[in-house]
Amino acid sequence: MEEKTVKVLIIGSGPAGYTAGIYSSRANLNPVIYEGNQPGGQLTQTTEIENFPGYPEGVQGPEMMDQIRQQALRFGAEIVSKTIAEVDFSKRPFRCVDEDGNAIYAETVIVSTGASAKYLGLADEEKYRGLGVSACATCDGFFYRKKVVAVVGGGDTACEEALYLSTLARKVYLIVRKDYLRASEVMQKRVRDRENIEILFNTNTVGLFGEDGVEGAKVVEFKGTDKERVFDIEIDGFFLAIGHKPNTDIFRGQLDMDAEGYLLTAAPTTRTNVEGVFAAGDCADPIYRQAVSAAGTGCRAALDAERFLMEHS
């Protein structure tokens, strides 16, 4: 097994990790990026991106992430297509071990492991991913102007997504498995008052169908009861809004996080509770979860790491 010492270790890729790589490379910090088991992050599973600055005609997710990756490489970042499996932040340099057992000793660490959208677990979700199935209304809602969409979920996020989509789509179904909304009273009222949102309570989605993309969903009302009813709804898009899970399990017990696992930082910086460890992107952002905001925190984390190294050299 190999051992290596670095000034900056970036764990995770995506807009945050690669941007941190660009900035720390330009500061001559020779960063090493472990891009994980999904190089480029969630955007590599996204088709058209139209809300990232600099792409007036839009860009495919994998293409954009490859361009940002190439930019990091151009300035000298070393990119390793492996995962970090274990970390020890008890003392500096921090000891991190990759999936092959190689040890990396880092003066600073930037965590940019992202978050994963929660899905229902239907085979059809994978089948139609990028073909009508999405976990981000802000990212993909634009493509459903004057169309019919469904949003799954009953919390604030689901209501926000439904309200946003209702400004674009002709009709929005809000599919709620319980007989009530978990969202705040304000959000509930807004949804109920919006004429083109129809709430389907006590309803579960059991399948999707369509030729070249989503054309409808098969749903069950009052599943498992004597009132059970199975029916189809015609839709063009199917949006999951049942939450995200930050990819932070390996940091439990070492970095402070909230109840859902999002890393806590000392705003407005990207500092965590461990001096020399910084967090950027969706793993520390339960609110915005946008590529451009993730890239911004990647920049900030790199600058924070640079300042820390200057102060502790």
Asked if residues 186 and 208 have their Cβ atoms less than 8 Å apart, the reply is: no
Q: List active site positions.
A: 136, 139-140
Angstrom distance (rounded) from CA 203 to CA 199: 9
The length of the chain in residues reads 313
| Strands of 18-153, DSSP E | 32-34, 48-49, 59-60, 78-80, 84-88, 94-98, 103-111, 115-117, 133-134, 148-152
Asked if residues 117 and 135 have their Cβ atoms less than 8 Å apart, the reply is: yes
Give phi and psi for 4, each to the nearest 5: -145, 145
- Taking Cα atoms as reference points, which of 112, 42, 92 lies closest to residue 298? 112
Listed in sequence order, the residues at least 6 apart from 19 whose beta carbon sits closer than 8 Å to its beta carbon are: 68, 72, 280, 294, 295, 296, 298, 299, 302
Angstrom distance (rounded) from CA 243 to CA 249: 17
- Taking Cα atoms as reference points, which of 240, 10, 255, 257 lies closest to residue 128? 240
- Using the CB atoms, write b or e for 126-139: b if 16+ within 10 Å: eebeeebbbbbbeb
Q: What is the CA radius of gyration of the chain?
A: 21
